Amino acid sequence: MVKPVLLFGYGNLSRGDDALGPLLLEYVESHSDLTDIDLLTDFQLQIEHALDLENRQLVLFIDASVASQNAFEFTELEPAKDNSYTTHAMSPAAVLAVYQSIKKQSPPPCFLLGIKGETFELGEGLSANAETNLTAACEFVHKLLDSANYEEWQQQTSLTYKEELI
């Protein structure tokens, strides 16, 4: 049975801060009621993951981000064919576009939580800054899951989460 909310954390636990997505899922697994939540993790997004969106009410993709200016950024996603559309590793927007193409319908509301990371070398552990950012992101996701509805999640996309404010 498919649960209404999907949290999809992706990244490589062996590559320093790239582990942020899977580590956030570990936090959710140990601190949240999973009655209505499915957790999914993988090294990277692939075309097959489009099927994981089926019959969901909300989807949250979670990944490390080198582009974030803040501890984390929370944005709503739209389907988009981008440069990753035909590669082995895809962007969340490209996964949504695949879903829309194969299912002939709009995907469920999807969001991206990009947690600021700094080091991604093989064999490295989590950096101190990434650990701080992960803590802030875990608190944020815990609050999101307390009110798992589209309108409340959408309102959160307009807020800025600066490291000094968290």
Check which CATH number belongs to the domain holding 24 and give it.
Answer: 3.40.50.1450
Q: What is the pLDDT of residues 90-138, one digit of tens each?
A: 899 999 999 999 999 999 999 999 999 999 999 899 999 999 999 999 9
The Cα-based distances of 110 to 17, 31, 78, 97, 140 in angstroms read 23, 22, 8, 12, 16
Sheet architecture: strand order including 58-65: 37-42, 5-10, 58-65, 110-116, 72-76
Q: What is the pLDDT of residues 54-65, one digit of tens each?
A: 999 999 999 999
Domain that holds residue 129: 5-165
The total domain count for the chain is: 1
